[in-house]
Amino acid sequence: MKYTFNNWGSFSAWARRSRSWGPLSQRLTQRLNRFWRHAIRVFIKTAVEALQSNIDTGMTVASFRPAAAEVRMRNWVLQFGGFGPKKGYGPSKPYGIKSMAHGELLGRKAYSVRWSSPQRLQLDFTFNISVYQHLLHESRANYSRSLDWHSLDKGRDAMINWINQNINSPEYNLMELIKRYLSYDAVVTLPTETEEGEE
């Protein structure tokens, strides 16, 4: 899921902006990052809540901890504990031991976040399944006896709904800041629902 601002125009336009946009670009960057942090929190909260009724060792839920720490909600994820480590069995044998500690270790490579800076207004968040039993039970397309959690789909949908509901919220005032920012000759590309070439 990406929201990318690009196509910054000519060098002379950039030079004019760089002299006058300082406080505005800092405010816009901070506001965008705060907005994105809250959106990612919605994703994590919804995805983890979709898993909570099926927690065994807690390995899958623990894989969300590093991403949660990135958006300052690790303590919230910690409340979903498991029932102790177990030896790997069946398709989980590659792990040797199933545990929350191992899930958290795998979770370090499960996600990536790109925050905005005044030089590049880009928001990016990716979460990939890193725990094998999470993959098995995420969808019946992966395993015929899957519990069909669809945790990432639920998280993504909740995140998109939150973004749509809050992009114009007075709490963030993003669109007003973006309009003011554009007055400095920047060109912005935002995702739209219209097909290319349509208005």
Question: Which amino acid would we find at residue 196?
Answer: E
Beta carbons of 24 and 181 less than 8 angstroms apart: yes
pLDDT digits (tens, 9 = 90+) for 133-168: 888 888 888 878 778 889 999 999 999 999 989 988
Residue 8: is its pLDDT beyond 50? no
pLDDT value at residue 194:
45
Q: What confidence score (pLDDT) does residue 107 get?
A: 93
Rounded-to-integer distance, Cα 138 and Cα 198, Å: 37
As to burial, measured by CB atoms within 10 angstroms (0-12 exposed, 13-18 middle, 19+ buried), residue 179 is exposed
**Average pLDDT of the chain, as a whole number:** 78
- Neighbouring CB atoms inside 10 A of 172's CB total 16
> What is the structure's pLDDT at 1?
53
Torsion region of 90: left, alpha or beta (phi above 0 gives left; psi -120 to 50 gives alpha):
left
Residue 13 confidence (pLDDT): 52
Query: In the chain, what percentage of residues exceed pLDDT 90?
Result: 33
pTM here?
0.75
Residue 98 binned pLDDT confidence (cut-offs 50, 70, 90): confident
Q: Name the most confidently modeled range: 7-21, 29-43, 51-65, 72-86.
A: 29-43
With bands split at pLDDT 50, 70 and 90, how would you rate the model's confidence at 22?
A: low
Residue 93 has pLDDT above 60, yes or no: no
Give the separation between CA 199 and CA 193, rounded to whole angstroms: 10
Burial 53-64 (b: 16+ CB within 10 A, else e): eebebbbbbbbb
Highest mean predicted confidence (pLDDT) among 11-15, 105-109, 135-139: 105-109
Residue 40's pLDDT is 96
